[in-house]
Chains A and B, each alone.
Chain A
Amino acid sequence: MNKRRVVITGLGVCAPNGVGIAAFIEALQQGKSGIRFQPKLKELNFSCQIAGEPLLNDNLLQNYFTPLQLRGLNSSGLVYGVIAGKDAWNDAGLPIAEKETPDWGSGILFGTGILGADKFRESIYQIDAKNVRRLGSGSVMQVMASGISAYLGGMLGCGNQVTTNSSACTTGTEGVLMGYERIASGKAERMLVGSCSDSGPYLWAGFDSMRILPRAYNDNPTEASRPMSATASGFIPGSGAGALVLESLESAQQRGAKIYAEILGGEVNSGGQRGEGSMTSPNSEAVVRCIKAAIENSGIDASQIDAINGHLTATSKDALEIENWSSALGVSGLDFPYVNSFKGLFGHCLAAAGSVECVGAILQFHKGQVFGNVNCSDIDLGIVEKVHPSKIPQKTILHAPRILAKASFGFGDVNACVIFGAFND
């Protein structure tokens, strides 16, 4: 069977610089940062005391959870994921399945890295104190990785595949591709895809301990995350969730859904931690292969790509990533597409990064803009060799992307690249 066309009909986001699509758009357009000083990290002797964390209003959760679900709820990733997921579903104009029967054609693929760290910690202390009977019924669901897809599955009544993927920084982007494949092959009509990541010291500590997080910006957090900058000094940890409703073109057109963009194809692969690859460093050959394959799988020519949203975390690897993009697309200088990284504004949301960033990338189609980079007026010289500065927008520009390549590269030497296209009937 020929692969069916898949489009994006709903978006939802819970990001450090914007909770909800409207706030997120404004923040991206205007370069508003969601990276803030975190008193808790200072109290716990972290070197990096800043991070990106979504700001939730007191009453917001009541719009997403029943009083029973709120009882003992202590999993921030789950909360972010439910907010983003339900918002995306509503944005797509899709109904909640009725009481007796699920929607067999709709599935969920919502990833995470580690879920419910705070809840697990709470439980661990009870267990160690020999109080296992005090845990109650909520601990398992809030802590199991698939908790997020399970909660959303029940809230929305999805009867197709309901699962959680996990591939470190690649999780969200990989999830988009897995959901796309499920629909393209005819196994589902709609897939809610996305990913989430807890906030807090227990998520971020490992990175701080590796000494890879910037220590010099605790007093000026908004300048700390500097993708593509000559003075980049490491990624800033973030958190949150992004969600997209993917839908077969037939289903979308049949119900008159609004279409944000189309998924033309993509690829996932790994560098096998061979060659220059390691657990924490990419194998460039694999990265280039992944991007090239994504382009081929999408049935386009590399020259058609006019925008890139990179992984670009603000480490010394940014220049290498740009070099790999240049290699894969066979372009440089003024021919290089517009390139941006949203991490300057909200840090690296870890498992949520790919999906929050995919949402941002799609919003560029929606608004006919390429959102500006921040903190890289001093572009790394290695990058300037490959990309003309005019293609690294320092503020939001009017340019409606036609074909956008989005990639994420994760710990484990894993890669994912998805190609989005402006929807043409």
Chain B
Amino acid sequence: MKQEERYQILRTIIKIYLPEDVSVDEISPESNFINELNINSANLVDIVLDVEDKFNIRLENEDMEKMQTVNDALAIIERKLSE
């Protein structure tokens, strides 16, 4: 699976967690989940579970702590897939 494909899958995962006034088009690789996309911090764990299910990987607490932006998530996904 290529990076671009993973990015699109991730965007689809994130979409449902966006608040009403943030459109899916505002997601960019640099987007910060909480500060820019205004995603409720309580939902980060849900995003992690969705990512785990979709990519068949497992994220540990340390991974989650480093996951502030979309790019961070992509980096973690790539690393887990190659393990």
Q: CA A162 – CA B73 in complex, angstroms?
A: 37
Contact indicator A136/B46 (Cβ below 8 Å): yes
A67 at interface, CB cutoff 8 A: yes
Residue of A nearest to B61 (CB): A133
Q: Which of A59-83 contact B (CB under 8 A)?
A: 66-68, 71
Residue of B nearest to A99 (CB): B21
Q: CA A67 – CA B50 in complex, angstroms?
A: 15
By the criterion of a CB under 8 Å from any partner CB, how many residues of chain B are at the interface?
8
Given A68-B17, A71-B46, 8 other A-B contacts at CB below 8 A?
A68-B16, A68-B43, A133-B49, A136-B45, A136-B46, A136-B49, A137-B42, A137-B43
A134 at interface, CB cutoff 8 A: yes
Q: List 14 A-B contacts (CB under 8 A).
A: A66-B20, A67-B16, A68-B16, A68-B43, A71-B46, A133-B49, A134-B49, A136-B45, A136-B46, A136-B49, A137-B42, A137-B45, A137-B46, A138-B46
Q: CA A138 – CA B43 in complex, angstroms?
A: 9
Residues of B with C-beta under 8 A to A137 = 42-43, 45-46
Residues of B with C-beta under 8 A to A134 = 49
Question: Which B residues lie at the A interface, using CB under 8 A?
Answer: 16-17, 20, 42-43, 45-46, 49
Output the least CB separation between A383 and chain B (Å): 54
Residues of A with C-beta under 8 A to B46 = 71, 136-138
Contact-residue bracket for chain A: under 10
Q: Which of A107-134 contact B (CB under 8 A)?
A: 133-134
Output the least CB separation between B60 and chain A (Å): 9
Residue of B nearest to A71 (CB): B16
Q: CA A351 – CA B45 in complex, angstroms?
A: 33
Question: Which A residues lie at the B interface, using CB under 8 A?
Answer: 66-68, 71, 133-134, 136-138
Residue of B nearest to A136 (CB): B46
Main secondary structure of the interface of A (DSSP, over half): loop
Output the least CB separation between B17 and chain A (Å): 6
Residues of B with C-beta under 8 A to A68 = 16-17, 43
Residues of B with C-beta under 8 A to A67 = 16
Residue of B nearest to A138 (CB): B46
Q: CA A351 – CA B56 in complex, angstroms?
A: 42
Output the least CB separation between B57 and chain A (Å): 13
Residues of A with C-beta under 8 A to B16 = 67-68, 71
Q: CA A118 – CA B43 in complex, angstroms?
A: 21
Residue of B nearest to A137 (CB): B42
Residue of B nearest to A141 (CB): B42
What 8 A-B pairs come out closest when comparing CB atoms?
A: A137-B42, A136-B46, A68-B16, A137-B46, A67-B16, A137-B45, A136-B49, A137-B43
Output the least CB separation between B5 and chain A (Å): 23
Output the least CB separation between B80 and chain A (Å): 15
Residues of A with C-beta under 8 A to B45 = 136-137
Q: CA A68 – CA B20 in complex, angstroms?
A: 11
Q: CA A390 – CA B60 in complex, angstroms?
A: 71
Output the least CB separation between A105 and chain B (Å): 24
Q: CA A83 – CA B17 in complex, angstroms?
A: 22
Residues of A with C-beta under 8 A to B43 = 68, 137
Q: CA A211 – CA B21 in complex, angstroms?
A: 53
Residue of A nearest to B17 (CB): A68
Residues of A with C-beta under 8 A to B49 = 133-134, 136
Output the least CB separation between B39 and chain A (Å): 10
Q: CA A138 – CA B16 in complex, angstroms?
A: 14
Output the least CB separation between A308 and chain B (Å): 47
